[in-house]
Structure 1
Amino acid sequence: MPSSPSARAVASAFAKAGPAIVSVGSLFAAWEFYAQTSGISPTTLPAPSRVLAQMVQHRAALIDNTLPTIRATLLGFACSLTAAFTFSVAIDFFKPLRRALFPVFIISQTLPLIAIAPLIVLWFGFGLTPKIVLVALVTFFPMLVALVQGYASTDRDIEALLASMGASRWRIFIAARLPSALPYFFAGLRISITYAVVAAIFAEYAGAAKGLGIYILNAKNNFRPDLVLAAVVISATLTLVLFATAMLVQRIAMPWQQLDGDQRR
């Protein structure tokens, strides 16, 4: 009896996720075994089971400190995305801007976070603004480069055809150049989004009242590696959720890519 499409979809999802589940599960199993049998102190290397227990026990404090980090991450990334798209369009329409602005953007990526973060806090205070600025600074450049490169990959024949039909430069951009840039953009988006949570936490290290960065700093100062790792697990989970969301948005925005993949299989 043939399986239903939904059953095949579930089986396919499990087949894709299986290797990752096995590798991550094996890593945690080895960590648990070593922590339980080696005699190492829990204050040096707590077992995953202890980290999980502490996450449950301190869930209220963890939630209270996770929400500010999520807010700073999302707002900073939204500002970064808006700025990257705006500058990429300006650079695509006015080529001299690329030579004028790209050196500045490249220099911004060479600034060490450990040096620039305290300055940003000094300039903007201890509120939400410095965290947004730092997240935007860290995540902006990969998306900008991806978009500019994507516009340049547009098929010249398509542009010539649209131009011969009387399409304006803006119409050519919307109909040809922007769709051509989508695969590049989502590649840059996935790269940037993996740095967003880390940047927000680093900004909280430099100065904040609440957040996972402050929670990790306090736990470290109190010699509680189990609580440090609990916050790290939450940080990693947030990053995975953001990455998965980016993948979902890509599937929605580029349905033809999924169809091409299905046809190849």
Structure 2
Amino acid sequence: MKRLRSIGNKIAPIVFILILLIIWEIIVNVGGIEKYILPAPTDVIEVLIKDFKTMIPHILATLYEGMVGFLIAIALSIILAVIMDMVPLIKRALYPVLVISQTIPTVALAPLFIIWFGFGALPKIIVVVIVCFFPIVISIVDGLEGVDKDLINHFKLMGASKLNVFLHLKLPYGMINFFSGMRIAATYSIMGAVIGEWLGGDKGLGVYMTRARSAYALDKMFASIVIIVVISMGIFLLVSLMEKLFTPWNNKKLSMKK
């Protein structure tokens, strides 16, 4: 019974998406809607097949910017989160600043980076770092802070140093939150790269979308969106797989709840 329920939960979203696509196809064909207004799903699939070779350099450029920015954001988040955990004064000073920084729209910052750093990959990578940094660092900080104080006191009574408490208690506990933040950031990484590409450059899915929009080729724009979603989901699934590998104790808890 549990297995059937699990299979049903996995199939349900796929069935729902297929139904939406069928309805979309029917509306476009029956309503006689022009392709430059709303292309049918079959038109988008046709573009994906015909233009995929042309899109490969753009896909690789966006993937490079997204992944490099994502990895830099992870590294910076870990370093800052550990410092904030070790030095409470720094945490009290920086935490509100991090929260306030999220009120600044990334779209408003991207043009500045283009002006300062040119039309290459660097401004796009910076946008990705900014977009991904906050959810990861806040997740790690909250995870490290959420460790049971009684457990920390127990470790200290056993003679554990501050480093031992961090490595053997706080770090394993914080890993769960760390991967939660990474999953959120994973879906933002490609989006951040595309936002940067919309504003300038010669390669990337954002550039491809801008050119398609100028030509009123909405089928190509939708094809780009499909690829962005697929890449983002791929990164999300990769992070989820890493979480299962690096936090086996959490997997046992989840399986027991089920």
- Bin of the TM-score, shorter chain as denominator length: over 0.9
Deviation at 1:260, TM superposition (A): 2.5
Q: Deviations over 1:224-263 (max 9, x none)?
A: 0000000010001111111111111111111122223333
Stretch moving more, 107-116 or 201-210:
107-116
Q: 1:203: which partner in 2? A: 196
Q: 1:131, 1:157 → 2: CA distance?
A: 45
The answer as to 2:173 corresponding to 1:212 is: no
Identical pairs, percent: 31
Deviation at 1:26, TM superposition (A): 1.0
Q: 1:20: which partner in 2? A: 13
Q: Deviations over 1:173-194 (max 9, x none)?
A: 0111111112222222222211
The question of whether the paired residues in 2 share the 8 Å contact of 1:81 and 1:140 is answered with yes
Aligned residue runs from structure 1 range 30-49, under 5 A: 30-49=23-42
The answer as to 2:189 corresponding to 1:193 is: no
Deviation at 1:112, TM superposition (A): 2.0
Q: 2:204, 2:4 → 1: CA distance?
A: 39
Aligned with residue 92 of structure 1, among 81, 85, 89:
85
- Segments of 4+ in structure 1 off by > 6 A? 8-13
Q: 1:173: which partner in 2? A: 166
SS in 2 for 1:163: helix
Q: TM-score, normalised by structure 1?
A: 0.92
Aligned with residue 148 of structure 1, among 117, 122, 141:
141
The question of whether the paired residues in 2 share the 8 Å contact of 1:72 and 1:132 is answered with yes
Match of 2:81, as an amino acid?
S
- Mark the runs of 5 or more structure 1 residues left unpaired by the alignment: 1-7
The question of whether the paired residues in 1 share the 8 Å contact of 2:28 and 2:39 is answered with yes
The answer as to 2:124 corresponding to 1:158 is: no
Q: 2:95: which partner in 1? A: 102
Match of 1:156, as an amino acid?
K
Q: TM-score, normalised by structure 2?
A: 0.94
Aligned with residue 223 of structure 2, among 226, 230, 236:
230
Q: 1:79: which partner in 2? A: 72
Q: Deviations over 1:164-220 (max 9, x none)?
A: 222110110011111111222222222221111111000011221100000000000
RMSD: 1.8
- Mark the runs of 5 or more structure 2 residues left unpaired by the alignment: none
Q: How many residues are treated as equivalent by the alignment?
A: 258
Stretch moving more, 13-22 or 125-134:
13-22
